Structure 1
Amino acid sequence: MIDFIINIVIGGLLGVFGGLLGIGGGLFAIPALSLLYGMDQQLAQGTALAMVVPNIVLGIYKYNQRNKIDWKTALILGGCAFALSWFGALIALDLDQRSMRKIFIGFLLFIAVWNLLQMLGKRVNSGLRQLAWPYFAGLGSVSGFLGGLFGVGSAVIATPVMTMFFGASQVVAQGLSLAIAVPTTVATLVTYSAHGQVAWSTGIAMAIGGVLTVSYGVRAAHSLPQHILKIIFSLFVLISAALLYGQL
């Protein structure tokens, strides 16, 4: 019972960051599970997915209340992401644990550097551009594949691309990315679960904590400047990468 309560508390903390940064908390849940419970990379990714799904659903609801999501665009992104997420998950499950962790650390460093580079740019986010559908289909496909590979949903990839190249503000991009993350996260969770790579009791407890706190993170996201959100995101990603590297 004590372990269950501790997991709820951990999930609550991750839920705040997930709502704040529009990523469902999975990106930070994976390092937390690896470091606190000694889970191998694939098990940590699968368990994090069990926590992330309800967080994402609630996050979408909260973001849509404040900034209406373009559901037509979300459908294109989500449909393509869903189709490719299965392949990413199957590749991840076939890799050995050490190699998977090294690749995941590299992925974290790439995401952190990418976000920091965005801060140096002088792009003006005047609103999501009405680009031709292949652009969104391509983004959805890449996001879905990498989301399945790393068990973090597609939001981590889609959000910086939409702010850097598609003209979306940070908050709008985060809400839209959460909307396309649902099908990919569910598909990836099913795949990991079928291969026995989900610790359900831990994941469910963390999901309860996340659901209780994700709305506070969303509220904070709408009150903080975009550059502050990017700094927070990059900082925590770099810390996670450093801690995981120390475990190799």
Structure 2
Amino acid sequence: MADILGDRPGAGLLSGLFGVGGGTVIVPALVAFAGFDRKLAAGTSLLAIVPTSLVGTITYGLDGHVSIVTAAILAAGTVVGAQIGTWLLARMSQQFLRWAFVVFLLVVAVQLFLTIPLRDGSVEIDAGLVVGLVAVGLATGILAGLLGVGGGVIVVPAMILLFGYSDLLAKGTSLLMMIPTAVSGTVANVRRRFVSWRGGLIIGLGACATVTLGSWLARLLDPQVANWMFVAFLLFLVWKTVTEALRARRAR
């Protein structure tokens, strides 16, 4: 458990900087350093995302970079999707989850690399946007429950690429959307014994200390530079996960 303590600052910083819940660093770290299997790591990560996302939402919200209506629409899909994802989690192998995580990260990295986000992008809520956001939310929830990520690595690129949101508004709204998503997935994971309460709360509460710093850095960085930094981080996670998958295959 001592190794878990080291994950707290990184998870919080990434949450604030990129609008993600921190699961993209928590899950690999719990597997690599704390000896968790991927299912327990995914469930524990979702629990840790709750307090981290709450603090991040407040930080972005104070500057007006949160859309409550958009977050509510996304959450309508993610809450349902998270239940589907956690159901699938109980039925899939560790090795499949590793490679699914790699494919997922590569797709997001390519999307972000090709995106030039707008700092002042804005949208008008209409019927078409509502349908699109619900669909994105459903897909996000499934992957959140399955992979233990809060969904920000899906929602933020989708809001920027598909719907024209500014990068800061997308990040702040994503953090708000994650709260009901993570709570829903955690409830389902608790029933399936895929949660370490002590580990999740230690990581989540510790990450709250640095999420505000990450939010401040996000406002200072040029949006394109922030995107490239996120892509570099995702590629690092791809390398770590592929290494883990190959090591597990050789150990058979």
Q: Does the alignment reach a TM-score above 0.5?
A: yes
1:145-196 CA distance string (max 9 Å, x none): 2222222122221110110121111111111111111111111111122211
1:228 & 1:90 partners in 2: Cα distance?
37
Counterparts of 1:107-186 in structure 2, within 5 Å, are 107-119=104-116, 126-132=121-127, 133-186=130-183
Match of 1:118, SS? Answer: coil
Is 1:51 the counterpart of 2:51? The answer is: no
Once the two structures are TM-superposed, the CA of residue 135 in structure 1 deviates from its matched residue by 2.0
Q: CA deviation at 1:69?
A: 2.2
The superposition leaves residues 119-153 of structure 1 with CA deviations (integer Å, 9 ceiling, x where unpaired) of 4xx87963124342212222222222222222212
Q: Secondary structure at the match of 1:247?
A: helix
Give me the identity figure in percent: 29
Does residue 36 of structure 1 match 2:33? yes
In 2, the alpha carbon distance for the partners of 1:138 and 1:99 equals 24
Deviation at 1:80, TM superposition (A): 2.0
> 8 Å contact 1:22–1:177 — kept in the other structure?
yes
Looking at structure 1, the residues matched to 97 and 113 of structure 2 have their Cα atoms a distance apart, in angstroms, of 25
Separation (CA, whole Å) in 2 of partners of 1:123 and 1:21: 15
Gaps of 5+ in 1: none
Alpha-carbon shift at residue 68 of structure 1 (Å): 4.4
Cα deviation per residue 1:93-136 (whole Å; 9 max; x = unaligned)? 210111111111111111111211214xx879631243422122
Does the Cα contact within 8 Å between 1:93 and 1:192 map onto a contact in 2? Answer: no
| Gap regions ≥5 residues in structure 2 | 246-252
Question: What is the one-letter code of the residue matched to 1:130?
Answer: I
TM normalised by structure 2 equals 0.90
Count of matched residue pairs: 243
2:249 paired residue number: none
- Corresponding residue for 1:219? 216
What is the distance in 1 between the residues matched to 2:72 and 2:221?
Answer: 28
Decide which moves more: 149-158 or 51-60: 149-158
State the match for 1:83 in structure 2.
Answer: 80
Match for residue 244 of structure 1?
241
* Contact 2:17–2:215 (CA under 8 A) maintained in structure 1: yes
Offset of 1:70 from its aligned partner? 2.2
The alignment's C-alpha RMSD in Å is: 1.8
TM superposition score normalised by structure 1: 0.91
Residues 17-48 of structure 1 show CA distances to partners (whole Å, capped at 9, x for unaligned) of 11111102111111111111232211111111
Question: Is the 2:67–2:169 contact (alpha carbons within 8 Å) kept by the matching residues of 1?
Answer: no
